[in-house]
Amino acid sequence: MKNLAKNFLIFFLVFVVIIYAFSFFTNKGQQPETVGIQAMIDQINQGQVSSVTINGDTLNIKLANGKEEAVQKESGETFSNLVKNFGVDTSKLQKVDVQVKENSGLDLLMSTILPFLIPFLLISVFIYFMMRSVQGANNRALTFGQSQAREFGQEKGEVVTFKDVAGAKEAKEELKEVVEFLRHPKKFQELGARIPRGVLLLGSPGTGKTLLARAVAGEAQVPFFHMSGSEFVEMFVGVGASRVRDLFKRAKKSAPCIIFIDEIDAVGRKRGAGLGGSHDEREQTLNQILVEMDGFDPNTNVIVMAATNRPDVLDPALLRPGRFDRRVILDEPDLADREAILKVHARKKPLAKDVSLRRVAERTPGFSGADLANLLNEAAILTARRNKKIIEMSELFEAIEKVMLGPERRSRVLTDEEKKITAYHEAGHALVAHNLPHTDPVQKISIIARGQAGGYTLKLPLEDRHMHTKTEYLEEIAVLVAGYVTEKETFGDVTTGATSDLRRATRLARKLVTDFGMSENLGPRTFGEKEEMIFLGREIHEQRDYSEKVAEQIDQEISSFINNAVKKAREIVEKQKAKMEEVVAALMQKETLEKEEFEEIVGKKIGKNDGPGIEIAGV
């Protein structure tokens, strides 16, 4: 709209200029006074006229006193005829110097061509500007097939180096080699070594894949073409492939360089697995990537990096040698890594002297790099909101919970009845967790709503664990159903508050049976093939590889796991009735209990102090 107005203005200005120029040409300076034919005849008869110049249909008259006049005659009528008809005095006329002036080229143009030309010109100008206003769209259409990769040269933006990536030692080690390739390709070529073409970064979201790719470019000091897999996919078939071609062309021109395709699973899914048109487009795009990667001259110093968190869905063709044959795995950060990541992100933040990032790291198992960066940011925001100048431990701890569970929702007012139910429910989770030997110690109990949960009990493992036993899982299920059991035991009724607990318990029980092969009755086998399929935008996961009869047995097993857990939880809840009342009273009064306050009531936790990862049991 704005463009159109602007174009219209320009059009208008051009119009004015043309009109002005036109009038300028025709005027040619001072215009003599125009008089009528009869007046001219009278002047001739009186002998006042010294000369008449016939200029087309205009008669320019020069008077004896030096004055000039102009007379318009009828076109086609000759001067002599005209004066005769008006009855001029012939003797007087003879004294007048009559000249016929040949129309000059310019005059001819003015008088004959221009009147036709002007509208034509105006129309062309108008059309030109109309075209211009749609040109923007045209331009876009023309560049549609070009890649929109962003290029990060080393001068633009801030350079990321390996120093900015904490932890991930193995990954960095692998990638240092890539940096070497980019920096000193000769060294490797002389030995006949084939420079790797593709490096695939694998890791869950937020583990620093994108960051690491940029760091490689920063270390090698080469251009970095960044494009996301989804950017290849457009509505029209063939666009993605054309973009791929364009991207590789650009990259080859500025070799040595890195092409980084983020979230490659958007285009690199297994081919031929889906239905519908969008899939054809993806396949073509993927094919083009494969073709381009194969088409590289071995000495072209372009390395293609790609990142995904779904290696399982990638097309096998992407993974064969000569393509993404190097795989770099980014694990979830462990305790030391978490501390290091926190340190990197705390560099520009003022921390109080007593802040121990180690303790923050201890409290954040399962956090990814992105979560940790977010945590420090939240802590800084909290500090600013409290008008403090330095970030202290309390803000950091609060930020942990905020990142983990969402913001506190103090505005959600519970009635006294609801509060009481929530307190019993959470106390149930906490007490059962406390009294089972293989669960994680309780860190915090709260009946303040947070995120989705009405209240929560936070348990944290003491160390990072990668393996878990069946016993741990069974105890975990008992903790999950403990809220439900307590409500039932105390009030003889249950609320909707236990819904998500029960869903999680059921899901975990199903996993034990179908994925982990931990059911005695069904034996050590898994059930269901996890198959990726896109159907109407939804991923259908499971493919049954077992019979109806077995399905029934699986259901029975799940139910028996849950029932046993309920039985176990009920035993503890019944035995701990007195403690339960104390915890509930404390919760009703303070709303949150920290680990120390909780242990003051129930004593130190017995048994082994770790369990299956971080578990939060919401109401």
Q: Where does this chain bind ligand ADP (CB under 6 A)? A: 165-168, 203, 205-211, 307, 341, 344, 369-370, 373
228 binds Mg ion (CB under 5 A): no
Q: Which two tokens stand for residue 469?
A: 């036993």
114: CB partners within 8 A, 6+ apart: 22, 25
| Contact present, 293 and 198 (Cβ < 8 Å) | yes
Closest CA to 266 of 313, 225, 300: 313
For position 501 contacting Zn ion by CB under 5 A, the verdict is: yes
Q: Exposed/middle/buried for 36, CB within 10 Å: 0-12, 13-18, 19+?
A: exposed
210: contact with Mg ion by CB under 5 A: yes
Closer residue to ligand ADP (CB): 340 or 431: 340
Smallest distance, Zn ion to C-beta of residue 413, A: 20
Q: Point out the residue whose Cβ comes nearest to Zn ion.
A: 483
CB of 350 to ligand ADP, least distance (A): 19
Q: How many of the other CB atoms lie within 10 Å of CB of 224?
A: 25
Which CB atom, from 202 or from 509, has the smaller least distance to ligand ADP? 202
Bridge partners (DSSP) of residue 330 are 203
- 461 makes contact, choosing from Zn ion, Mg ion, ligand ADP, none, with CB < 5 to 8 Å by partner type, with none
Q: Toward ligand ADP, which CB reaches closer, 208 or 454? A: 208
Q: With respect to ligand ADP, which residue has the nearer C-beta, 206 or 612?
A: 206
Interface with Zn ion includes 231 (CB under 5 A)? Answer: no
Candidate list 426, 472, 476, 487, residue with the active-site label = 426
- Under the criterion CB under 5 A, does residue 615 sit at the interface with Zn ion? no
Q: How many CB atoms lie within 10 A of CB 216?
A: 27
Residue among 210 and 486 whose Cβ is closer to Mg ion = 210
- Judged by beta carbon, residue 445 or residue 513, the one nearer Zn ion is 445
Minimum distance from residue 507 beta carbon to Mg ion (Å): 28
CB of 157 to ligand ADP, least distance (A): 13
Spatial contact of 363 and 399, defined as CB atoms under 8 Å apart: no
3-class SS of residue 147: coil
- Name the nearest CA neighbour of 290 among 328, 326, 317: 317
| Residue nearest Mg ion by beta-carbon distance | 210
* Amino acid present at 16: V
Is the Cβ–Cβ distance between 199 and 306 less than 8 Å?
yes
Q: How far is the CB of 340 from ligand ADP (least distance, A)?
A: 7
In the numeric block, which tokens belong to residue 374?
A: 């977010």
DSSP state at residue 109: I
For this structure, is 426 an active site residue?
A: yes
Q: Is 7 exposed, middle or buried (0-12, 13-18, 19+ CB in 10 A)?
A: middle
Query: Do 56 and 102 form a contact (C-beta atoms < 8 A)?
Result: no
User: Could you say which of 167, 483, 611, 612 contacts Zn ion (CB under 5 A)?
Assistant: 483
Residue 619 contact, options Zn ion, Mg ion, ligand ADP, none, Cβ 5-8 Å cut-off depending on partner type = Zn ion
Q: By the criterion CB under 5 A, which residues form the site for Mg ion?
A: 210
Residues that bind Zn ion (CB under 5 A): 483, 501, 617, 619
Q: Which residues are catalytic?
A: 426
